[in-house]
């Protein structure tokens, strides 16, 4: 009987060790799996995903091909070039800096422009040595696609100076600075000021 009690005790120990080994093995496997998931996406992809918000195409009311007329964006987009317009895109997506947009300008055909200033940006006007007026966004001189600084006439200065004064040099919510690619200004915010989000018809892609 004494020998039998010792035998049962050894069996219990074996079963306990076996169960602990299974639990430990399962835990290590689960940890390795979680670690794999964490490393499955390269760091640069994770960083890029955090910098660029995902877009939602559900709010696009229409996709159509439009043809550019005029030289406002010459050097970036040429007259006669055909692009795709995502109408209604900004109903559920933010307007981003450097987006190419179609703007509903009253009394004219819609205009194609580049977003150069967004809500919350600091902006001011500064006279250059040449006598024209430069636009500074977040303390940096605003430039076109060819890395040339925009340099506006006195008329362009007077228009934007009103917004600089009224909004204390901060672009307000749902307001945007849109410009062509010509450094002297075109029919853009240098003529009609900041624009509202509701008047932006959509986003242009494919340029």
Question: Do strands 133-137 and 123-127 pair parallel, antiparallel, or not at all (unpaired)?
Answer: antiparallel
Angle at Cα 85 formed by Cα 80 and Cα 90, nearest 5°?
A: 140
DSSP secondary structure string, 96-157?
-TT-EEEE--TTS--EEEEEEE-TT-BEEEEE-TTSSEEEEETTEE-B-TTSPBP-B-HHHH
- Res 11: pLDDT: 63
φ and ψ at 151, to 5 degrees?
A: -140, 105
pLDDT by 10-residue block (mean), the chain, 207 residues:
45 60 59 43 30 62 94 95 96 96 93 98 96 97 96 95 95 97 95 96 91
At residue 107, the pLDDT reads 86
Q: From CA 96, how far away is CA 119, in angstroms rounded?
A: 10
- pTM over 0.75? The answer is no
Torsion of CA 122, 73, 86, 80, to 10 degrees: 180
- Furthest-apart CA pair in the chain: how many Å? 111
Q: Are 171 and 121 in contact (CB under 8 A)?
A: yes
């Amino acid at each position: 009987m004494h020998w039998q009690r010792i035998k049962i005790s050894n069996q219990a120990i074996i079963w306990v060790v076996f169960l602990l080994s299974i639990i430990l093995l399962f835990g290590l496997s689960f940890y390795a799996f979680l670690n794999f998931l964490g490393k499955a996406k390269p760091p640069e992809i994770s960083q890029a995903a955090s910098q660029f918000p995902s877009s939602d195409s559900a709010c696009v009311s229409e996709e159509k091909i439009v043809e550019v007329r005029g030289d406002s964006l010459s050097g970036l987009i040429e007259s006669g070039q055909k692009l795709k317009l995502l109408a209604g895109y900004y109903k559920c997506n933010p307007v981003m800096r450097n987006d190419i947009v179609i703007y509903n300008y009253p009394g004219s055909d819609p205009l194609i422009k580049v977003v150069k200033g967004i809500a919350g940006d600091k902006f001011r006007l500064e006279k250059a040595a040449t006598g024209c007026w430069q636009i500074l966004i977040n303390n940096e001189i605003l430039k076109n696609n060819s890395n040339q600084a925009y340099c506006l006439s006195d008329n362009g200065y007077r228009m934007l100076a009103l917004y600089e004064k009224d909004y204390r040099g901060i672009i307000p919510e749902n307001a945007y600075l849109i410009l062509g690619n010509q450094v002297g200004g075109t029919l853009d915010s240098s003529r009609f000021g900041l624009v509202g989000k509701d008047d932006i018809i959509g986003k242009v892609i494919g340029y």
